[in-house]
A and B are shown apart, each in its own frame.
Chain A
């Protein structure tokens, strides 16, 4: 049965067992909102190379997608077969988790590689190899009538032999499926409110829209236009920039702002990309810049197809995958070491983030079972209550991943606010007085004020969400309290207090931001006035100098 050893690309030869006992989890190599990825070994396969696998454990209780969507993803992964597309060996349930067993990609995602060895981006020949293989995968997917919808460095995986595979079909859609089943999480969300809720910086809200904000094409944000294959091309272009720079463009802004800029297109991304690559480090070839900007045309129809991209001069003379082994893999620590250093990956320390199906979590799950109503009384002969079972300590299931993101967001907020100030003061300080500058200032105001307003809106939304969560949190406490007495009450109170703390913080921020908006508006008015004044002076000066010249 285990015949096809050595032939990993063939797949399907080795049958992977369908029960948890046959696998030993070695270490955690990635985690998301409702899933954790482990490196694992398949015990019955012994020491052969296909025995090492990656297992994605999806918590079906927490996953916002309904079971049909999860099934559709699993089915897609089982039916895709291409050397550059990650295929699932098999999937089965373990309690309320779905385990998807996949080939282990020794070098991890390109995102992880960037952040652990290439913070300023990969060398261009390496970018070319990764992009070429990504295009081959996309070519296959598009030929199958599939749209990936979430292309980014984090979803491109590299194996220790330098082979590249595109992964994660959590949001992919098939144009062959009937419209009713065409329900990626994104389709439900009305475009504008969804864009606003993204600003609420809660990671679970990101899933309301398909894809991840920085990589999203404008028409995906404007989702009423519908997704097309060309949305993938946009994300591909952004991914190209991400690989080349180490991060996606506009990523210094919080996601909501980045999205807003793209919708309003006040800042043209083509330009952003151009200036980025030429101003910072003039190291990108013209072919690269040309390829990327063709992908980032606002009009989907203007973007090239995958086939056309593969014929682009940028991919002429593209190196082999060995080149990646020598130039990329050699420069980054192994995936195990990367994960060791990254404390963020330890879900357990974060309470709510811990979705690990490891032994102790399973035990906690059993304990959690007990805290529900302590058994009904179906004993008709003597209508007495069964003795209530004592509920064990509660496993917290608090669905509030707000905290960390909020901090990050605030940091970004203040950073970019700082930038704004710099820009403003620079504008004010510059002595030159060309008309362009005034336009810039006005344009700037137009961008900044609505943005701040949106952020304010989203903060209000966030506040109401926290209030709501607080409401249900309180109820949990009540429900726990009934059967089991004090044990659960203490952490409950603590949590309530924590939540109240959040709410107060948020309220504070809303106030702050409203003040900031007002200030911003006032300052803009002032600046405009100044500019107009200076313009007049300038006009006056030039007039007089002209006058003096003519004299």
Chain B
């Protein structure tokens, strides 16, 4: 009998509405234990709806996504608090539905409605959602899902700025060193995204927070005993300092003897990969035209060792830029 009423296909707006109804139902009944069968039925419905949202946004095996359908879906999704409900109730969903939900949220961050990114506007007035997403790194079961959503949200410059300026930035130094590799790497990827994506915002952040940030960065990440933490941190430091928009920060960094000492120790790390990344930062100290006396002192004291080190410093594949940089560094140090 039911089949008779199914003749009208559901519109994207219908699917979003039903998803929201399912989520509200979940919200109201989260405490109650009774009616497990009913609850499971609702859950199955929700899973089906979220999968439907995904296939509208991404297309399915046979068909590409339709722009008009995506626009309708996006509008309806952000018209009310569907995103909030979805994020809050994510831990209650099963694994497959969590993955679908993550992909839906990720896709929605890029959808435009009359050339405006609706998601960005929504998040700006719901910034507490970012607090929830970031705290996900403390829960193994949802960390990877929240982490993936978070990285999509910080594509919006205003949202990235919010996170950079929040107290959460300090927490990342812990998250990056979590023992669980997938979660630590996820946090590390988010951290990197925050510090490299929006150039002007990053430059402003680094300038205003120079002291505590590099203090933490040097002592906790570059001096970490964890191989991965060290390797990712030195790579990120290179990416940050070599970015043109961060010139002022770079000049400040390479004028410090303490920073130089850390980098020189990384040059003789047992890992070749770390050595190479450290070289890309060390060369900035050597190339600095206005080296402070304390930096010159250290370089002069260790001149012969440094020259001997660079004479034998090779990378596996040919790299003209690397060789040229090395020549330059050798020249600078010899001339001191």
Contacts and interface: CB of A to CB of B under 8 A. Distances in A.
Contact of B182 (A71, A96, A472): A71
Nearest to A140: B96
B210 interface: no
Contacts of B312: 475-476, 478-479, 482
Residue of B232, B297, B309 with most partner-chain A CB within 10 A: B309
Interface string A79-105: 101000000001111011010000000
Given A67-B231, A380-B297, A472 B316 contact: yes
B95 A75 contact: no
A376 B312 CA distance: 16
A373 B268 contact: yes
A68 B294 CA distance: 37
Nearest to B265: A376
Nearest to B270: A369
A376 B299 CA distance: 10
Interface in B99-115: 99, 103
A369 B274 CA distance: 13
Nearest to B110: A178
B181 interface: yes
A439 B6 CA distance: 63
Contacts of A75: 144, 182, 185-186
A372 B269 CA distance: 8
Interface stretch (B80-88, B168-176, B300-308): B300-308
A377 B302 contact: yes
A96 B272 CA distance: 11
Contacts of A475: 312, 314
Contacts of A176: 58, 103
A252 B228 CA distance: 41
Contacts of B313: 479
A144 B99 contact: yes
B3 interface: no
B181 A81 contact: no
A471 B294 CA distance: 37
Given A60-B227, A79-B95, A91 B182 contact: yes
A373 B301 CA distance: 14
B211 interface: no
A74 B185 contact: yes
Interface string B209-247: 000000000000000001110011000000000000000
Interface in A369-391: 369, 372-373, 375-378, 380, 383, 385
Nearest to A71: B185
Contacts of B270: 365, 368-369, 372
A81 B228 contact: no
Nearest to B230: A96
Given A96-B227, A369-B270, A479-B312, A376 B185 contact: no
B226 A74 contact: no
Contacts of B271: 61, 96
Interface residues of B, number: 42
B129 interface: no
A18 interface: yes
A92 B313 CA distance: 30
Interface in A12-39: 18-19
A333 interface: no
Interface in A350-405: 365, 368-369, 372-373, 375-378, 380, 383, 385, 399
Contacts of B264: 376
Contact of B308 (A145, A399, A471, A482): A482
A506 interface: no
Interface string A246-282: 0000000000000000000000000000000000000
A74 B267 CA distance: 29
Nearest to B226: A93
Contacts of B69: none
Contact of B309 (A71, A373, A471, A476): A373
Given A67-B232, A373-B309, A468 B318 contact: yes
B272 A61 contact: yes
Contacts of A399: 316
Nearest to A97: B227
Interface in B275-325: 294, 297-298, 301-302, 305, 308-309, 311-314, 316, 318
B179 A92 contact: yes
A375 B301 CA distance: 12
Contact of B181 (A92, A373, A380): A92
Nearest to B103: A176
Interface of A: 18-19, 60-61, 67-68, 71, 74-75, 78-79, 81, 90-93, 95-96, 98, 144-145, 176, 365, 368-369, 372-373, 375-378, 380, 383, 385, 399, 468, 471-472, 475-476, 478-479, 482
27 contacts: A18-B179, A60-B228, A60-B231, A61-B272, A61-B273, A67-B231, A71-B181, A71-B182, A74-B182, A75-B186, A79-B95, A79-B144, A90-B180, A91-B180, A92-B181, A93-B181, A96-B227, A98-B181, A365-B270, A369-B270, A372-B269, A378-B261, A380-B298, A383-B301, A471-B314, A479-B309, A482-B308
Given A60-B227, A81-B95, 15 more contacts: A18-B179, A67-B185, A67-B228, A68-B189, A71-B185, A93-B181, A96-B271, A145-B58, A369-B270, A375-B268, A376-B265, A399-B316, A468-B318, A475-B314, A479-B311
Nearest 6 CB-CB pairs, A to B?
Answer: A479-B312, A71-B185, A18-B179, A369-B270, A91-B181, A372-B268
